[in-house]
Amino acid sequence: VFYAPEFNLWSVSRYDDILAVLRDETNFSASGALAVPDPPDEVRDRIDTFPWKRSTVTLDPPEHRPARKLIQAPFTPSSLASREAGIRANALRLIAPLRNEGRIEFVREYAFPLSLAVIGDVIGVEESKRELLLAAAENVFKAQNSGITGDRQALLEASEPICDALEYIDALIEDRRREAQDDYTSVMVRRQLDDGSYPDTEEVHTRLFDLLVAGFETSAQMMSHGVAALLGHRDQWEALRADRSLLDAAVEEMLRYRGQVKRAFRTTRNDVVVGETTIPAGSLVALLLASGNRDNAAFEEPDTFDITRRRQDHLSFGRWTHFCVGASLARMEVRITVETLLDQCPDARVVEGSERVGAADLRLDSISRLELECDPAAA
Ligand code: HEM
C-alpha cells in the first residue's frame, strides 16, 4: 500500500489487500472515483449528461442493485450459448488473412472488429451502423481526458459522435419496445423493476453504454494480450495443441498473466487500515489488479506463464458487487479465438518485435499492434 503524491493517489498492490478493499463497502465507495465532465453547452439540446456518469461500476449499494439487475438480466447461459455460433463465424472470417496469406495485424484486423461485432450483436445494432458505436466508444475516453485537461474544443469534438450514437440507441430502444428482437436491448426494455415499472429510455441507454464502454476495448485487448502470451510461450502453445482439455485453464492463465485492466478505483469514506497502512478518509485508491495477479503470496511462481496452473482465481474481472457482468462473454470470445487459431493456423507465431504498446492509460494496458504469421501451407 503506497501513496504517490504526484497523482494524489493511493495504490494497493497485494492480492489479499485488494480483496479486502473490494469486500469492504463500508469504508470504500465505487462512486466519486471517476469525475465525468458535463457535455458542452453547444450539445445541451441533444444530451444533458454523459451516460457513463451513472455507470454501474460507479454506483454504490443500494443504487447499484437495480442497475445491476437490469444490466445482468440478458446475460443468461442460454443467451450466451445462442451467440456462440455467430462469434465463431466472425472469428473464422477475420482470421482468414492469416490462414490464406500467412500474415495478420491481429489487434486492428482481428481483435477490434470481432469485439465490435459482438457488442453490436448484443445491443442489436445492425452492421451498417456499428461504426457509430466504434466512434462513441473511442470518444468516451477523449471526452474524459478533455474533461481533465479542460480542453473545451476537444470536449465538443468528442461529444458529437457520442450524441450521434445515443440518438441512434434511443431510437433502437423505442423500436425494441414495439417489437422484440434477439438482442439484450429487447430483454432490458421488458425487464420489470422491483416497483413493477419498466426502465425508461435513459436508464436503458445508460446500461447499454455501460456494455459498450466496459466491454468493447477490454475484450479486444484481452484477446490481443492473451494471444501474445500464448503464442509467445511456445511450449505452452504446443502443450495446448497436444491437449485441448487445457483450453479453459489456458484462458484463465491468459487473463491472469496479462490481465489488462490494470486498475480499479475506489474512494475512502473513512480513515481505514489496509495491510498495515492507514489510508485517510476522502482518498482516491487504485487497486492494482494486474499486480495482485502476480503476487507471489497468492500464486506460485507468478511470473511464469503456465496453462496447467491449478489456482485460477485471478483478479482480472474484479470480485463481488462489481464483478464483471461480461466475464462469461469475454471468456467465450477469448476461447473461440484460441480455438480458431488452433484449427486454422496451428503453427501461428508472433512476428518477433512486432508488439507495440498503446497510449498510456491509468486503467487499461493496451497493445496497438501485434503481427502474427503462419505458413499458409500448414494451415
Ligand atoms: C476480458 C475482458 C474484460 C475484462 C478484463 C473486464 C474487467 C472488469 C473489471 C475488473 C470489472 C470490475 C471493476 C471494479 O470493480 O471497479 C468489470 C466490471 C464490469 N464489466 Fe467487465 N471486463 C471485460 C469484459 C466485459 C464485457 C465483454 C462486458 C459486457 C459486454 C463487461 C461489462 C462490465 C460491466 C457492466 C461492469 C460493471 C459491473 C458492476 O459495476 O456491477 N466487461 N469488468
pLDDT at 72: 98
Mean pLDDT of 161-188: 98
pLDDT at 377: 74
Closest to 377 in 3D by CA, of 95, 92, 91, 101: 101
pLDDT at 208: 98
Half-sphere exposure of 314 (CA within 13 A, CB side): 29
CA angle 290, 355, 89 (to 5 degrees): 85
Ligand 1 site residues, Cβ closer than 6 angstroms: 30, 56-57, 68, 71, 210-211, 214-215, 218-219, 222, 261, 264, 289, 316-318, 322, 324-326, 329-330
Q: Is the pLDDT of residue 149 over 90?
A: no
Mean pLDDT of 267-275: 97
Mean pLDDT of 352-364: 91
pLDDT at 379: 64
> Ligand 1, from 207, 222, 325, 329: best to mutate by most atoms within 8 Å of Cβ?
325
Mean pLDDT of 353-366: 91
- For ligand 1, atom 38, the nearest C-alpha belongs to 322
Q: 22 alpha carbon to ligand 1 midpoint, in Å?
A: 14
pLDDT at 362: 82
Please, what is the average pLDDT of the chain? 96
Q: 69 alpha carbon to ligand 1 midpoint, in Å?
A: 15
Residue type, 128: S
Task: Give the residue with greater pLDDT, 286 vs 35.
Answer: 286
pTM for this prediction: 0.97
